A and B are shown apart, each in its own frame.
Chain A
Amino acid sequence: MRVVQLNSRSPEQTQLLGKHLGELAQVGDIFLLIGHLGSGKTCLTQGIAWGLGIEEYAFSPSFVIVREHYGRLPLYHIDFYRLDRIEEIMDLGLDEYLYGDGVCVIEWADKGIALLPRENLTIRLSYISDTERSIRLQPRGKRYSELLKALSLSLGAEKI
């Protein structure tokens, strides 16, 4: 499975896509989120959190850079929004999250792409209209090709 491209017509649909992803996620999974302010990154992450059995809303980690949530697996919700230099990201000590015991979702991952694992699921979100967003999922590595295949099957039933 190479790439899945879909359009979400509401925040709820974006959350639902995230929920499917969260349900399929395994220890060590890395999801890179790329898209401008307001493109739905936190919204998608909320769904991933629910899919991992986390009941609360995964609210934005922009201020603190990392928020930890605990469900079926830990979710490490990371956000590079405020970081502009690669040295700042190097200094974060992210390895314990990236190679840890949970699932990492990284918003604004494009700011630190060179420091992140090459094998990942890259998710690009973009604004189409007030309610509509384009979401493109690209797997890098065997694990993520399989994940995307499983995602397509489970989405088929939901008709996003």
Chain B
Amino acid sequence: MSSIYLDHAATTPMLDCAIDAMTTALSKLGNPSSLHTPGRSVRKDIEDAREVIGREVGSLASEIIFTGSGTEANNIALKGLFWKRRAEGRNVVLISAIEHHAIIDPAQWLATHEKAEVIEIPVTNDGVIDCAFVEKFLSQRADEVALIAVMHSNNETGVLQPISELVNLAGDIPVHCDAVQSFGKVPLSFSELGLTSLTLSAHKIGGPLGIGALVLKRGIEIPALLHGGGQEREIRSGTLNTPSIVAFASAISSHQYLSDVVTKLRDYFISNVQKLLPDAILNGAKSARLPGIVNFTFPGTQSDTLLLLMDGANVSCSTGSACSAGVHEASHVLLAMGHSEKTAQSSLRFSLGASTTQSDIDYVLSVLPDVIARGRAANLS
């Protein structure tokens, strides 16, 4: 049997419409920076795509900067905004304790190499940032803050963050938001949120790998990371990847991700897991969450053992947390939510996508109890 794929938060199948758009574009000649007819033709395709994506994310088309990945977009935003604001004498980078490594690591890099002071915003046991902390911090040190970065929703737990409230608290301080998990899944408007910058990634929504975007507020100029032809507002150089950009726009505008359907499947999955395994702990249970991400702690197990057993039972899922030398570390997200090292290492993330079906979920429910039982036995051995 083919495997049941419940790791859509890692990457999700490319949509047929996106594959079609991409393959058509692959056979089309032209560098979008060229001034001749073929160049102008692919330039039009890119600008069409930019407008589509702008509409979908509630930004101006001109605010979209195409990048090679979500990670690159986060790096441009964090480093660029930091350098710009440091020139004005501000040195503090405020990030949440549950950011993806694509935010944590550039922030740490700024601390190590650029003498930034990185402050982590704590989260509640339900995985939501502590706005009271932010308010108090800003009441004392707002003048020193270069930027604030908080993700729109967490990639491990799916917990949605109060971005509007944060932007209100921030006032004039730029707020960057990594929205790669939220885009296309829940309502998201760059302009309504009042953000300075926002990160998107195509392969999380049925587009191709290797293409992302930074939405950067019109009029904000920041230093570049990649210097060269100056293609994207002089902030990101490199020949534009027309086939991927076109496929990105095709995927997001197809609206094939039906949030209500995924939410219903998710809730069915959660209630049945809780029936089968009453001691399973749903992480972020009390918070508003993305439709597709479910994170359970199974006490007395080790997640790497569970992954092996799930894979052996033809189910692809994930711990959601990073690896260090291939060894799963305790998730910094779950630790920040009050888990111990031990319980954080006993957790699995199941992420549903547009293509997930009821029979997929039923199959997973049929194998899960045995996997957990074996996982517990292996943990005791």
A and B associate in one complex: no
